[in-house]
Structure 1
Amino acid sequence: MTADGHLSATPDVTDVVDVVDVVDVVALGESMVTFLPTRPGRLADVPSFDRGIGGAESNVACALGAFGHSARWVSRVGADGFGQHLVETVGRYGVDVSHVGRDTARPTGVYFRTAGDRGTDGHEVAYYRAGSAASAMSPGTVDLAAVRAGRVLHLSGITAALSGDCLDLLRVLTAPAAGRPLVSFDVNHRPGLWPDPAAARVLLGLARRADLVFVGEDEAEQAWGTGGGPGAVRAALPEPRLLVVKQGSGGATVFARGDGDLDGTRPVFQPAPAVDVVATVGAGDAFAAGFLSGTLRGLPLRDRLRHGHLMAAATLTVPGDLAAPPTRSHADRLAALDDGAWGRLRLGPGWTDAARAPEEANTP
């Protein structure tokens, strides 16, 4: 990564791996088979479910693969039908899945959820992931060369919560090292998954070793007691070169530590467009994918945030974790709107249809 926050045209990682193996992004983490109810109601009452997939890191890889980037997902799945379904489905997004291990002794994780928003009291999620194949990831059970063979390595705090071995793996991957790829870390603080009071400190330590960090303003307040808005989050996390503080439907702010226009004293805020929300699950992962895409392409910080918002809007307007992104040209046209037109943008289900002109997606 250069001093101005852009990725080098020839990544330093080529010093330690064969250049032909380098991809734009490597995402490491657990994905699970998800079961979504075919009708509203309590899990106790729903008679049938539709099968999908979900996982923070694989969601990012799938979104980037569908958007035209080279992406690799590294994980472990059980030697079962669910694991095969995960690998085949992620692969259909154009993602390299050749480094996903199969574990004959542990199952693939699954979960069931109701159709509502995770933030509502009525929302239910039932996880069956304890002892999963992915929880056995460690420095000795994954191909570290394949993991490091990307311009960007994307990780999340969810992996750290799966097991002590997984936490050891993240500590190895975030350790300072010559030729390390740009390390992107989505905090993803999940108290229900990792109730240990020490979890927040562990996540803070991992975030401080990353180059690019994504965290929600409310998430940082809950984990670290930041308060005081995005500036207080930056005060708690001064080390990352790029820090993106997500502010819900209001927008997001990026802080950059570098030279010139990326001087850390001048954070960049971009409001999110109005969205007719169908479901919020997976929107944060899509936002990360959009921002990473803009980073890989060397776009200005404003446009990186806008691409994050647009990717998130694609996921917000579908019921599952994954959505077809807009075409790159469509997203670029929307991201280039002037501030007034961007502020009038309203996106609803179906807006990513490649045949739709940007004006048709814009409701003044």
Structure 2
Amino acid sequence: MVPTGAHGRPGGASVPGSAARTPAADTDVVCLGESMVTFLPSRPGRLADVPSFSRTIGGAESNVACALASAGHTVTWVSRVGADGFGDHLVEAVGAYGVDTSAVRRDPDRPTGVYFRTATDRATDIHEVAYYRAGSAASAMSPDNVPRDVLSGGRVLHLSGITAALSADCLALLHDLTAPRPGRPLLSFDVNHRPGLWRGREPGPEVLLELARRCDLVFVGEDEAEQVWGVRGTRAVRAALPEPDVLVVKRGAEGATVLSRTGGGRPDTVTDVPALRVDVVAPVGAGDAFAAGFLSATLRGLPVRERARHGHLMAAAVLTVPGDLTAPPARPHADRLAALDDTAWGTLRLGPGWTDEGANEEAEAT
């Protein structure tokens, strides 16, 4: 049973996993946020030394949208991009994953954001990222220029703290979207604290805490919560975020803890789900993929343990490729792995190519 939100939806409102859907809710998930053109290096080394880059796309919310669409869900991405070639590329690339991009607006006066990053140095785990997003088209999103009917028309609205950090207008938009109101979609929120984006602006920790507490499903890293709010451990994170019906605390290589409640003042059900052993190619995009896997399983009404396992599986798919995005495992393949007993799950090891029905999948005891 999927928990219902406690922030304004009436008891009969459509929620992930429920049989009834309102006529307007013909989309599973709507994702709002900035996507950027990403340039990946042709070889390891400092940005100063890399001679060429290949072009791809990246953005927390569009990553979730693309992963969910690839997994068979109906998804809409809402954003703004420049009236430039990079904007054309973003809309086409996101749309190629099966995402509805008709609600993306073009800004004639502001550019599409871009960023460059180096390949991770396996010996030192050092990498560089250079963002060129200040004054981007997406940073001009506000309560007055986004399609409100689209944002309220899905079963789930997925947001992240990155959008709140882009500008005062973007923060006003997130405050508005997370306000309690009857009939709002289930709100999914990934904290995604980016300290660099908050410099010279409102205190990010307080803003992110307020936004997270107004949502129904929240994703946050355990180390992230300690960095942002100074709280340590799952119980302390829950004490800081008592309102969300479902709180997912990601614990890195240790796994994830899901604290969920079904309403009526009942205490949390605590579900610990170990992470998989993965031969990592690049540690980027895994958090977005985890959120997509968890949301996908939530939409399907799967038990909490399976939701977290599907999150780990989607994260493993991204961790075994160089970029932020890849095709997820086919649903029957993912379902089979998610249904393994604890011993088999604990001995599973996944490497590049594993999504091809387990072509390179290894299940070996430690």
**TM-score under structure 1 normalisation?**
0.93
Asked if the contact 2:4–2:245 (Cα under 8 Å) also holds between the matched residues in 1, the reply is no
Residue 357 of structure 1 and its aligned partner are, at CA, apart by 6.6
Among 124, 131, 134, which residue is 1:127 paired with?
131
Aligned length in residues: 354
Once residues 290 and 198 of structure 1 are traced to their aligned partners in structure 2, the CA distance between those partners, rounded to angstroms, is: 31
Matched, 1:187 2:187: no
Residues 343-352 or 251-260, more deviating: 251-260
Q: State the match for 2:338 in structure 1.
A: 335
Secondary structure of the structure 1 residue equivalent to 2:56:
strand
Q: State the match for 2:169 in structure 1.
A: 165
| Cα offsets for 1:39-81 (capped at 9, x unmatched) | 0010001000000100000000000000001111000000001
Once residues 41 and 23 of structure 1 are traced to their aligned partners in structure 2, the CA distance between those partners, rounded to angstroms, is: 43
Q: Structure 1 regions of 5+ residues with no counterpart? A: none
Residues 124-133 or 189-198, more deviating: 189-198
Root mean square deviation of aligned Cα: 2.0
Give the direction of change, closer, same or farther, for the CA distance of 1:208–1:259 in structure 2 (3 Å limit). closer
Give the direction of change, closer, same or farther, for the CA distance of 1:121–1:311 in structure 2 (3 Å limit). closer
Among 49, 60, 66, which residue is 1:56 paired with?
60
**TM-score under structure 2 normalisation?**
0.93
Residue 218 of structure 1 and its aligned partner are, at CA, apart by 0.3
Once residues 266 and 293 of structure 2 are traced to their aligned partners in structure 1, the CA distance between those partners, rounded to angstroms, is: 22
Once residues 303 and 202 of structure 1 are traced to their aligned partners in structure 2, the CA distance between those partners, rounded to angstroms, is: 31
Asked if the contact 1:118–1:281 (Cα under 8 Å) also holds between the matched residues in 2, the reply is no
Give the direction of change, closer, same or farther, for the CA distance of 1:170–1:118 in structure 2 (3 Å limit). farther
Give the direction of change, closer, same or farther, for the CA distance of 1:180–1:309 in structure 2 (3 Å limit). same
| Cα offsets for 1:165-215 (capped at 9, x unmatched) | 000110111111111000000000111221346110000000000000000
Once residues 362 and 111 of structure 2 are traced to their aligned partners in structure 1, the CA distance between those partners, rounded to angstroms, is: 43
Once residues 362 and 116 of structure 1 are traced to their aligned partners in structure 2, the CA distance between those partners, rounded to angstroms, is: 27
Among 210, 214, 221, which residue is 2:219 paired with?
214
Matched, 1:98 2:102: yes
| Cα offsets for 1:102-126 (capped at 9, x unmatched) | 0000000000000117996631111
Matched, 1:242 2:251: no
Runs (4+) of structure 1 exceeding 4 A deviation are 1-6, 117-121
Q: Percent identity?
A: 71
Once residues 121 and 249 of structure 2 are traced to their aligned partners in structure 1, the CA distance between those partners, rounded to angstroms, is: 21
Among 29, 33, 49, which residue is 1:29 paired with?
33
Q: State the match for 2:9 in structure 1.
A: none
Give the direction of change, closer, same or farther, for the CA distance of 1:345–1:62 in structure 2 (3 Å limit). same
Once residues 221 and 60 of structure 1 are traced to their aligned partners in structure 2, the CA distance between those partners, rounded to angstroms, is: 24
Q: State the match for 1:348 in structure 2.
A: 351
Letter in 2 for 1:9: A
Matched, 1:85 2:86: no
Letter in 2 for 1:362: A
| Cα offsets for 1:256-309 (capped at 9, x unmatched) | 12159x954331000001000111110000000000011101100000000000
Once residues 119 and 276 of structure 1 are traced to their aligned partners in structure 2, the CA distance between those partners, rounded to angstroms, is: 15
Among 273, 278, 297, which residue is 1:275 paired with?
278
Q: Structure 2 regions of 5+ residues with no counterpart? A: 6-14
Letter in 2 for 1:314: A
Secondary structure of the structure 1 residue equivalent to 2:109:
coil
Asked if the contact 1:31–1:56 (Cα under 8 Å) also holds between the matched residues in 2, the reply is yes
Residue 3 of structure 1 and its aligned partner are, at CA, apart by 4.8
Residue 139 of structure 1 and its aligned partner are, at CA, apart by 1.0
